[in-house]
Amino acid sequence: MAADFDALPFREELPPEERAALQALLQREPALAQALRHWEALQAHLRERVEAAVPDRRLLVLYALVRCGREALLTPEERAELEAARPALERALQALPGLETVAEDVAAACADFEEAWAAHFPSEQRRMRPAAERRPRPLHRRPAYRWVVRVALSGVVLALVGILWWQQTGQRVEWTVADGAVEVRTLADGSTVRLVGPAVLRYAVRFDRKVQLEGQAFLEVQPDTRPFVVETPEAVVTVLGTRFGVRSAGGRTEVVLVEGRVALNGRGRTEAPVVLTPGQRSLVAAGQAPEPPVPVRVPEALRWTGLHIFDGMPLGEIARYLSDFYGVSIAVDASLAGEPIVGTFAQDQPLPEILQALAATLGARVEQLPDGYHLIPIG
């Protein structure tokens, strides 16, 4: 069977032989199968939102008929039912703007139906009459507007899912963290962002590995064939998989790289970007090219993250850094002082826990002294 991608979302409606061929295609194409799973998850999510907002979709059709000036087509019972549901419908329209478009589509379908009815049944009245004026008809000749309602209902779910999916792909998340606060979020691709307030991060609901940052963030980006892009008012940072900190304030962006590799350029600049390697920092001023990278001590350069980030620093240097940070004496045996350490700790984590973790990494132990701590080999 030729790959009919339009049929993928509706494969349960295919004939058995085409469904089997499509299943074989999905087994051969894991990426296609994954994309289909994502589509079905999104479809289910949107359907749940619609059903929670409008449990009886018939009311939405009646609402659309009233909106397009056809209230006279409703029976008294339908008008009373619609009036009782009106507050809930209006709340749903505010929560799901796509419902407005669906209501407009129903109204357009109603007008198209009237035109088609008049063209194919010239002996009939050329316009639909109000409910009060309608006479009983045989079951096979129902009033025209009932067919409008049935046709609209048959397509309203698909229209809702399609419109809301389209809106969701264009919508953006805005994540704001207040001054002095710190929040951590995992993005759809598994990358994590630690936002240090005041800061704002924006990205598409249908995540495309592109974010806009105002303020401070420490990112741990999952490797992927697609680049991960961070845009600030002054700079564009492009990565594949890495850990780095970004600060945008006062018309300047600072990037400090912990692990991996990033390319940095100014917004709107066309020259080749600056490439950072681990342990380097670069600054970008608004409208300017990035400054040449310079080496930094990562724990100190990223102290604003609320983390202690060790990128292979020798234990002796880590001990001096922690001594300064906590105001406590920390000594390290000479046999351990040169051992490199890679790890990350929260700054609000108790110092003894951090020291115990560092010691366990090297097969050492922590000895508590009257004025501080001493890391020594076991035995």
Q: Does 365 have pLDDT greater than 50?
A: yes
Domain positions in the chain are 54-170, 173-300, 306-377
190-236 confidence digits (pLDDT tens): 889 999 999 999 988 878 889 999 999 999 998 888 889 999 998 99
Determine the Cα–Cα distance for residues 248 and 32; give it in Å rounded to an integer.
Answer: 38
Confidence category of residue 103, pLDDT binned at 50, 70, 90: low
- Interior angle at CA 241, CA 236 and CA 244, nearest 5: 60
Question: How confident is the model at residue 55, as a pLDDT?
Answer: 62
Contact between residue 107 and residue 64 where contact means Cβ atoms under 8 Å apart = yes
**CATH fold for domain 173-300:** Jelly Rolls (2.60.120)
Q: Does 139 have pLDDT greater than 50?
A: no
User: Which percentage of the chain shows pLDDT scores above 90?
Assistant: 23
Tokens 């020798």 correspond to 314
Pairing of strands 364-369, 307-314: unpaired
Nearest to 197 by CA among 210, 175, 181: 181
Question: How confident is the model at residue 33, as a pLDDT?
Answer: 67
User: pLDDT: is 348 or 119 the higher one?
Assistant: 348
Lowest mean pLDDT among 33-37, 73-77, 154-158: 154-158
Lowest mean pLDDT among 17-26, 53-62, 98-107, 194-203: 98-107
Q: Does 134 have pLDDT greater than 50?
A: no
Contact between residue 245 and residue 305 where contact means Cβ atoms under 8 Å apart = yes
Under DSSP, the state recorded for 14 is: S
Lowest mean pLDDT among 3-7, 258-262, 280-284: 3-7
Question: How confident is the model at residue 104, as a pLDDT?
Answer: 66
Q: Does 247 have pLDDT greater than 90?
A: yes
User: pLDDT: is 181 or 99 the higher one?
Assistant: 181
User: What CATH number should be reported for the domain whose range is 306-377?
Assistant: 3.55.50.30
Mean pLDDT of 365-375: 88
Confidence category of residue 41, pLDDT binned at 50, 70, 90: low
Determine the Cα–Cα distance for residues 56 and 287; give it in Å rounded to an integer.
Answer: 55
The burial class, CB within 10 Å (0-12 / 13-18 / 19+), for 245 is buried
Nearest to 173 by CA among 196, 195, 206, 214: 206
